[in-house]
Structures are given as structure tokens and as C-alpha cells.
Amino acid sequence: MTTSPSPYLRLTTVDAATTVRIEVNGDLDYDSAPHLLAVVTGKLAERPDLKDLHLHCAGLGAIDSIGLSALLMIHRHTSTAGVRLHLEHRTARLERLLAITGTLDHLTTVTTGDANAPADTAQAKPRTNATPARLTGPDSTA
Amino acid sequence: MVSPEAHSDSTTEPGSPWDGAPYPVLLTDVQGMVVLSNAAAAVLLPAARPGARLKDVAPAWLSAAHDVLRTPGLEASRPLSGVMGARSFEAHPSVQADGSVVWWLVDDTDHRLVREALTVERERTAFLAEASNMLLSSLNLGRCMGVTAQLAAEYLADAALVVAPSRGRRMPVVTSLRGASPTTKHEAADPNDVPGLSEALRGFPPVPSRWIDPGGAPRWMVPEDFGPVGSIVITPLPGHGVPAGALILLRRSDTMAFTQNEEVFAQLFAARAGAAMSAARLYAEQAAITDVLMQELLPPTLHQICGIDFAGGYRPSADHERVGGDFYDVHPAAVEGEASLVALGDVCGKGLEAAVLTGKIRNTLQALLPMADDHQRMISLLNTALLTSHHTRFATLVLASAVRNGSDVELRLTSAGHPPPLILRKNGTVEEADTSGTLVGALPHATARTAALTLSPGESCVLYTDGITEAKGGLTGDSQFGEDRLKRALGQCGGMPAESIVEHVQMLAAQWVGHRPHDDMAVVVIAAPRTHHLTAVSGHTRGRFTS
């Protein structure tokens, strides 16, 4: 278990067999979002056997557009690496932001493969999240 | 230095105890006649033999000191000093019981020189500190050049010129005569004509100051009514990796020419002035870039188009270094009877990256205008155009197509990941437009649902960015303005003209945040104008015109 201290964002990382859980405490914004992104990409590089990445969001404070952009980038990375991303214990604020921006389904629909990479690199791949309909994937909000 | 051990002819008996004294010693009697002078004193004042009058053999300052000492009540309180030959001495008298005086002469030449040097250095340090203060207090290049020229003319020379590297054919030159305010000119001169000037202006490699022949100085270099020039020095103004310019110092022929010491000092000053000028230049360049970008990005002034009222307001984030991330545009219908398109959006992030993305979005939307009747397709194509594998920077926006139908306005509204527009009805209710969609620029596909609705005369539709609703303020300073507060405020705006609604919302948001920092805030109001009779105070609406 490691903790990365940052004045406004504290990340606690718990490693298990094929999963990693990162507890997010504090604001995810212009100043702190690169830190979360760096921790996640570092973890993905370090753990090629990883199957599931759980972001525990109960302690998430304010989240701005850069924070959301970081979550979208994390999802892009996990999908490419074949890791399932779980946004757990989402706060009402996060839920609302994801709903307004139309990213809730995208971020909480668990896919593998690089299906959500940009169109130019994903042409030949099957798109499991291509439809805008609300897919009910194994999203672990519980 | 006069050696205390120096031997000379016998003014004192050889072996006299005075000869061993480490200083020149003179013994004078009450009448001011020399009674005795030791070996060291004989070297210093060879004529001061016993029997000579002090007045005749000693410098005036010493004999005057003797007179003062002999006058009751004028006791000299501190050591007297003066020059003897090439050196200076302090004279310490001790008066004997019989009225004779022993003068001890202490050589203080080195001490005095050190003291003088210290005074000069202190003055220079104070000058450099003042120069730094004056130079750094302004980021205006013109003012920096003026201050540099003025300070140099005041402390270093009779006149000073600051030459900036030329842009184009003319060289900006600030001239300052001592005691006069600096003047700026653009000289169509070639720096290559002045030896050392073009090298100094190039900035690299660093060149030392250069003396030039005053006779060979071009006319632009010598201020009018300056008189004959005695000496000219050209010193480069070193900048932060970029040449800041050159400092030209002129002295009149009746002023002392520059010493090497003064030249070194001028370089110290030039280093400070150059740093300040290059900082000002870099700042000016950055400000110019920001201005160009802002000009391109500033929202247009809105007015009535095709019988529909449009009004917009934009309050950029107070963070002056950053170009805003909110934008709006109105594209009037190309053909009468077709819909005009409004786009209002918010780009993720701040600064230049956000500005670049904003520019891209506005251009793309303009190119997609021929298909403005199909919002979904526009959003989908815009999404594809913005998508890149490098980042997930995105934008959220609302598209609104508005067309006049009789006295009504038909609206189609589509949100792409943006807070839905609010509709102000005549009865004071505020509705959220039923539209939603995904943001653009980050996901492989963007989809959206369009809402169609009708505005009756006096009704309006408010498009806004979350800078309004997420503005932090209020009593605690920490609560958000929020959508509920915005809806309640809009509920009071029934029947107001579009401009007044924009102003009202902006005023409330500004009051809410107070002096706290805030994000960009943009509001656009689309209103169906009241057509025939004035219903502002009809009783159907609250009729409050607070603006």
C-alpha cells in the first residue's frame, strides 16, 4: 500500500492479485489531474498482469473539465491495456458531471481491447461501445 | 610612504629620542618657530629646520592649525588634515606646559583613498539599486528605454542614447540629455556605419564597450545643442539570450573622458538595463500574441438578426495570463427564411491549448454551416475533426437554430455534453430544454438528442457556460451559484429584453463571486421580440426592469 501525498489530492494505492484499487481523496482539477494520470499510467506499465483498476471516488471533491479529461484518458489507457476500469462510489457531483457531459456510459461501460481509441487507430477493431444506448456492463457502483 | 626610520641631516641630535618616533614630529614654540624636527619630519619638510618659521616652511593648513591652537577658546577638537606633497597627513598636536606644541604628523593617504573609494562604491550601489527599482517597475519597453537613457545621462555621461535592435529599416533611438526628458525617434540609420554598434546590437558574442572617434560620430548620435563631443563609448545592453540594444554615452569636450573604472560601472548598469529591457520586450511579444489570439477569439457583438433578438455577454476569468476557454458565435442564415445558428461552448483547460482548441471548433463549425439543419451530424463531424490520439481534451457546446415563424421563434437546441439551455416562459416559469449528448473531441463517437420548441413573443432561451453556475461565492465564499439560483433569477426576468437578461445574469454572478477568482462566464440569450403592443407592464409578467 502506497500513498502519494499532494496538497489537494491524496491517492492511496492498494495492490491485489490482478487488481489495483486507487482511493481518490480531494479535488481532481487543473493542478492535480496530471498526478492521477501519472500514477495510473505508472501502475499500468508496472503491472502487465492487471485485469481490473478500481478508482474509489467516495473522497473525490471538486472535479473540473481537466479532471474529467484525465478520467477519459485513463479509460483510454486501460482499454488499450485490456484492463477493466471501475469508477466506484461515485459522488453525486461526479455522477452529475458524467451525466451532463454524456460520458457516464462510456466511462462505466467496461470494455477490453482498444475499442475506444480514436477512430483513426480503431478502424479495424470491433467496437463494443459504439452504440449510444445505455449499456449495462459490469459496472461496480455498489 | 615616509619611512619613520629615514635618516637625514642632523636637525635633531643623532640618537635623539624623537628619531625613534614612528611619525614625523615637529616641535614649535609659542611664536610658531620650529624648535625641533625629527628625522622623519626632515624628509617630509626639509625646510623645517630649527629656527625657521612654521608659516614659511609648512603648508598653509598646518600653520593655520597652529594659529588656531594658540588662540584661546578655539581648541581644535579633532585631528586636522591636509596634503603634503603627494600624500595627505593628519596633524595631532600636543600642547606642552611652556606653550610649545608637538605636532605629530600621521600619514592617512591610504586610509583616505579607501574611504573615498568606499563612498563612491556606496553611491554606485545606491544608484544601481535605484536603477533596478526604476527599470523593473515597468514592463513597458518604451518606458524602460527612457528610464535607461535618463539614468545614464544623469549619472554616467552628459548625454545618453539607447538604441534598440531595429525592426525593419528604422532603428528606435531614445536620446536623453542631462536634465531633460528623453525623446524617442526612429532613425533610418545603418548601425554598420558606426563602429561597434552593430556588434553591440547583435548581442552575441558579447563585445566589450567600444570607444569611437567623436569626430566620426553620425549626426543622429549627437543631440542638438550638445556642443563639441569629447568622448563616446558604446556599451552593449545584454538581454536574456536576446539582444536588448546598445547604450551610447557621450561626454562634452570640457568634461573628463571616461576612465576604465567608469566604463566597468557603465557595464554593470548596462547589464541591469539590458535585463529589464529584454524582459519588457519578451512581455510585449507575449502580450502581442495574446492580443492577436484574443482578437480572434473574442465573442462578437450580438444584435437583432432576421427578426430575432440575440444578446451575449462574456466575462473572462480574472486570470490575466490565460486566454479564456468559453466561446460563442452567431451565424446568420444565409438565405431569408432559414435558421440562424448559435453556438456556445466551453473548452476544457486553460491557456493557449484551450485557445487553439477553441479556434479549431469555431472554424470547423463555420465550415459545417451548410448542414446546420442537422445538429447531430454537425456534432458528429466536429467530434471526428477534433479527435486525436494525443490527448482527451474536449469541449462541450450547445447548438441553437432559430428561425422566425410569424411572431414566434422556432428553436432547435442540441447539447453536446453541455448544461441544457433554459427557457423563460411568459408566465415566469423556467424550463430546461430537453436535450443531451456527449461532449466532443474525446470519445470515438459523439451523439446528441435535439429538442425542438417554440418561443412566443417575449419569451427567451438562455445559453450559458458552467462558469456561471459553478461560480463560487455567497456568504461562505465557498458555495456555488448553482442552477437553482440561476433559474430563480431568470424567473424574475420574464418579459425583459435579451440584453437586459444577459446583463442581469452577469450582474448576479459578478455579485456572487465578488473579488474571488472565477472561471470564464458566457451567456447568450435568444429572444422572440415583442411585436405589436407593449406588454411589459401588462400584468401578465412581473414587469420588473431592474437594469
Q: What sign does the CA torsion over B31, B35, B38, B39 have?
A: positive
User: Can you list the domains of chain B with their CATH numbers?
Assistant: 17-107 (3.30.450.20), 113-290 (3.30.450.40), 298-527 (3.60.40.10)
Q: Is residue A76 domain-resident? A: yes
Q: Is residue A72 part of a domain?
A: yes
**pLDDT reading at A68 higher than 90:** yes
Q: Do B442 and A117 touch (CB under 8 A)?
A: no
Distance CA A130, CA A126 (A): 9
What is the predicted pLDDT for the residue at B204?
Answer: 58
Residue carrying the nine cell digits 547589464: B271
Q: Which residues of A touch B447 (CB under 8 A)?
A: 102, 132
335-354 of B, contacting A, C-beta below 8 A: 346-350
pLDDT (mean) for A80-96:
94
Instruction: Confirm whether A33 is domain-assigned.
Output: yes
DSSP-assigned beta bridge partners for residue B196: none
Shortest Cα distance from A68 to chain B (angstroms)? Answer: 9
Question: CA-to-CA distance for B312 and A9, rounded, in angstroms?
Answer: 37
pLDDT band at A85 (very low <50, low <70, confident <90, very high): very high
Q: Is A120 on the interface with B (CB under 8 A)?
A: yes
Q: Residue A60 is part of which domain span?
A: 2-119
Using a CB–CB cutoff of 8 Å, tell me whether B436 touches chain A: yes
Tens-place pLDDT, residues A11-57: 999 999 899 999 999 999 888 999 999 999 999 999 999 999 999 99
End-to-end CA distance of chain B: 89
The answer to the question of residue A61 being in a domain is: yes
pLDDT cut 70: percent of chain A above it: 72
Give me the CATH number covering residue A29. 3.30.750.24
DSSP characters for A78-92? HHHTT-EEEEES--H
What is chain A's alpha carbon radius of gyration, rounded to the nearest angstrom? 14
> Quick check: B437 contacting A, CB < 8 Å?
yes
Task: Outline where B298-402 has alpha helix (H).
Answer: 351-367, 375-386
User: Quick check: B384 contacting A, CB < 8 Å?
Assistant: yes
Of B519, B471, B529, B463, which Cα lies nearest the Cα of B496? Answer: B529
Q: Of B422, B329, B440, B332, which is closest to residue B377 (Cα–Cα)?
A: B440
**Angle CA B417–B419–B420, to nearest 5:** 105
Helix (H) or strand (E) holding B403: strand B395-405
Q: Chain B: nearest CA to A14, how far in angstroms?
A: 26
| Core vs surface per residue B45-78: b (16+ CB within 10 A) or e | beebeeebebeebbbeebbebbeebeeeeeeeee
How many C-beta atoms lie closer than 10 Å to residue B212's C-beta?
Answer: 18
pLDDT at B218: 86
C-alpha cell at B436: 443531451
The answer as to whether A124 is a domain residue is no
What nine digits make up the cell of B539?
Answer: 400584468
Helical H runs in B470-534? 482-491, 498-513
At B48 the three-state DSSP class reads coil
Cα angle for residues B398, B399, B404 (degrees, 5° grid): 135
* pLDDT of A142: 39
Q: Determine contact: A92 vs chain B, CB below 8 A.
A: no
Query: Does any CB of chain A come closer than 8 Å to the CB of residue B445?
Result: yes
Q: How far is B510 from chain A (nearest CA, A)?
A: 20
Query: Is residue A39 a part of any domain in this protein?
Result: yes
Q: Chain B within 8 Å of A66 (Cβ-Cβ)?
A: yes
Domain count, chain A: 1
What does DSSP assign to residue B396?
E
Q: From A130, which residue of chain B is nearest by alpha-carbon distance? A: B445
Distance in angstroms (rounded) separating the CA atoms of residues B148 and A124: 66
Is A79 part of any domain? yes
**Using a CB-CB distance cutoff of 8 angstroms, which residues of chain A are in contact with residue B348?**
65-66, 68-69
Record: contact A66-B349, CB cut-off 8 A = yes
Residue found by looking up cell 593655520 in the block = B64
Instruction: Name the nearest CA neighbour of A20 among A54, A48, A46.
Output: A54
Closest partner residue to A101 (CB to CB) among B388, B391, B438 is: B438
Q: Touching check for B70 and chain A: CB below 8 Å?
A: no
3 state SS of A20: strand
Query: How confident is the prediction along chain B (547 residues), in pLDDT tens digits per residue?
Result: 444 444 444 445 555 777 878 889 989 988 889 988 888 888 888 888 888 998 888 888 888 888 877 776 555 556 688 888 888 998 888 888 888 888 889 999 999 899 999 998 899 899 999 888 888 888 888 889 999 999 999 888 999 999 988 777 788 899 999 888 899 988 888 888 888 888 888 865 666 777 788 887 888 888 888 888 888 888 888 877 777 889 999 998 887 878 888 888 888 899 889 989 888 888 888 888 777 776 776 777 888 888 999 999 988 776 554 556 889 999 999 888 899 999 999 998 877 778 888 889 999 999 999 999 999 999 999 999 999 888 999 999 999 999 999 999 999 999 999 999 999 999 999 999 999 999 999 999 999 999 999 999 999 999 999 999 988 888 888 888 999 999 999 999 988 899 999 999 999 999 998 888 888 889 999 999 987 544 444 444 444 443 3
A126 touching chain B per CB within 8 A: no
Q: For A100-124, b where at least 16 C-beta lie within 10 A, e where not — what string? A: bbbbbbbbbbbbeebbbbbeeebee
Give dist(CA B518, CA A113) in Å, integer.
Answer: 40
Residue A131 located in a structural domain:
no
| Chain A contact present for B482, CB below 8 A | no
E strands of A16-127, at which residues? 19-28, 52-63, 84-88
Average pLDDT along chain A: 80
Closest chain A residue to the Cα of B325, Cα to Cα: A65
- Any CB–CB contact under 8 A between A2 and chain B? no
Contact residues on chain B for A36, CB-CB shorter than 8 A: none
User: B273 CB contacts (<8 Å, ≥6 apart)?
Assistant: B131, B135, B144, B148, B151, B152, B162, B237, B244, B247
CA nearest B232: which of B246, B249, B256, B216? B249
How far A88 CA lies from chain B's nearest CA (Å)? 21
CB contact under 8 A, A66 and B417: no
Chain B within 8 Å of A101 (Cβ-Cβ)? yes
Residue of A nearest to B397 (CA): A101
CB B306 within 8 A of CB B336: yes
Q: In sequence order, which residues have a C-beta less than 8 Å from that of residue B171 and are 6 or more positions away?
A: B163, B164, B165, B186, B187, B188, B189, B191
